[in-house]
């Protein structure tokens, strides 16, 4: 069996997002046959995303009858050399943003990072909300980072997620009053001085709005994409639209819109109440032709588990937990779409 035979078999594997076979789409980087083994490099860039995992499984299945020992690897060419990349060992940086405060952006970021780690990915979470850093509390990160002899920082880890936050660097009750240049300096240092290691994903919890931190991020690192968090009401949608335009001006892919606090199910009467309105996030996504990543319920358990440092996405037995899991999978799948388009 030669390379052409292998490629013919691989033409039976369809990309679930693009509806064409992976050979025609150029997603097969290389095929190397040696003795009784074959190694295939695939242009996949979203580790542990359900759709890319399915592609890899389908590749193994179509080659199962060859009796060859099949090994796979995945790589997407970013077009940048390691020297040109700020974080060369981080495959995908995902920004979580909102146009206004109070929409649960940090909750979404924490659960996204934890959910990706629960899928099996190596994940970092950078709490870049320098004026209101609260990610450590939401994951019960009681131990701060450690410094090395080389004056780099080893981040603490919770739920398989490496963490960095301004909350580790300032007093618990100390206000952060910085102007733009200082914001740029500290954000850049936290990128470069933290030993993140090899990560499949880094989730960045941005402050609300469109200020200095967002500009620093967009100018410093190539984002795989951004998640825009909103709630159903019109005021939140109006502000989310501003955040969307910010990423558009910097040619940053938007992975989609997620509607947080979408509805409340009364535990006593089992009826559902649209406290903040209904359908605003989905309608906004349709209006701007962006993917809709899901509806996350307004559930007291989200607040309770956030206060206790136990992300709701790990609760597989609850409807809310499953909603966050579905959202996480949708984000990962959309990262894969963006990366495969870049191939």
Q: Which two tokens stand for residue 158?
A: 């919770």
Give burial (CB, 10 Å; 0-12/13-18/19+) of 289: exposed
C-alpha closest to that of 110 among 52, 160, 144: 160
Q: Which two tokens stand for residue 170?
A: 């300032």
Query: For residues 270 and 63, what is the distance between their CA atoms, to the nearest angstrom?
Result: 50
Q: Give the number of residues written for the chain.
A: 343
Report the DSSP pairing between strands 292-296 and 225-230. unpaired
Running DSSP on this structure, what letter comes out for residue 206?
P
Please state, as a whole number, how many other Cβ atoms lie within 10 Å of the Cβ of residue 70.
Answer: 17
Q: Is 301 helix (H, G, I), strand (E, B) or coil?
A: helix
Q: Do 220 and 86 meet the contact criterion of CB atoms below 8 Å apart? A: yes
Annotated binding site for ATP: 99-106
State the angle between helix axes of 234-249 and 280-287 in degrees (0 to 180), rounded to the nearest 10.
30
Radius of gyration of the chain (CA): 21
Query: For residues 272 and 269, what is the distance between their CA atoms, to the nearest angstrom?
Result: 9
Query: For residues 240 and 158, what is the distance between their CA atoms, to the nearest angstrom?
Result: 30
| Whole-Å CA distances, 251 to 45, 192, 217 | 19, 23, 13
Annotated binding site: 99-106
Q: Which residues does 298 contact at the CB level (< 8 Å), separation at least 6?
A: 261, 262, 263, 264, 275, 276
């Amino acid at each position: 069996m030669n390379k052409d035979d292998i490629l013919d078999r691989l033409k039976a594997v369809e990309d679930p997002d693009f509806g064409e076979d992976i050979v025609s789409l150029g997603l097969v980087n290389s095929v190397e046959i040696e003795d009784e083994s074959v190694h295939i490099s695939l242009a996949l860039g979203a580790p542990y995303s359900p759709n890319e995992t399915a592609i890899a499984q389908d590749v193994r299945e179509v080659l199962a009858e060859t009796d060859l020992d099949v090994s796979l690897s995945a790589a997407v060419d970013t077009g940048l050399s390691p020297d040109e990349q700020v974080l060369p060992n981080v495959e995908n940086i995902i920004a979580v943003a909102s146009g206004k405060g109070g929409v649960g952006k940090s909750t979404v970021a924490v659960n996204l990072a934890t959910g990706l780690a629960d899928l099996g990915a190596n994940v970092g979470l950078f709490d870049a909300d320098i004026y209101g850093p609260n990610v450590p509390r939401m994951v019960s990160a009681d131990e701060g980072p450690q410094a090395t002899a080389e004056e780099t920082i080893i981040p603490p880890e919770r739920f398989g997620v490496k963490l960095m936050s301004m909350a580790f660097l300032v007093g618990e009750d100390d206000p952060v009053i910085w102007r733009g240049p200082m914001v740029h300096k500290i954000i850049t240092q936290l990128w470069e001085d933290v030993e993140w290691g090899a990560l499949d994903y880094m989730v960045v919890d941005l402050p609300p709005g469109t200020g200095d931190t967002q500009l620093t991020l967009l100018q410093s690192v190539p984002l795989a994409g951004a998640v825009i968090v909103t709630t159903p009401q019109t005021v939140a949608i109006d502000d989310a639209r501003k955040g969307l335009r910010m990423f558009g001006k910097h040619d940053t892919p938007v992975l989609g819109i997620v509607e947080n606090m979408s509805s409340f199910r009364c535990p006593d009467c089992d009826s559902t109440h649209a406290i903040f309105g209904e359908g605003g996030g989905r309608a906004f996504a349709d209006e701007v032709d962006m993917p809709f990543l899901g509806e996350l319920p307004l559930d007291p358990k989200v607040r309770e588990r956030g206060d206790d440092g136990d992300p709701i996405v790990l609760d597989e037995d609850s409807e809310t937990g499953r909603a966050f899991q579905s959202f996480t999978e949708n984000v990962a799948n959309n990262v894969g779409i963006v990366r495969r388009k870049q191939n």
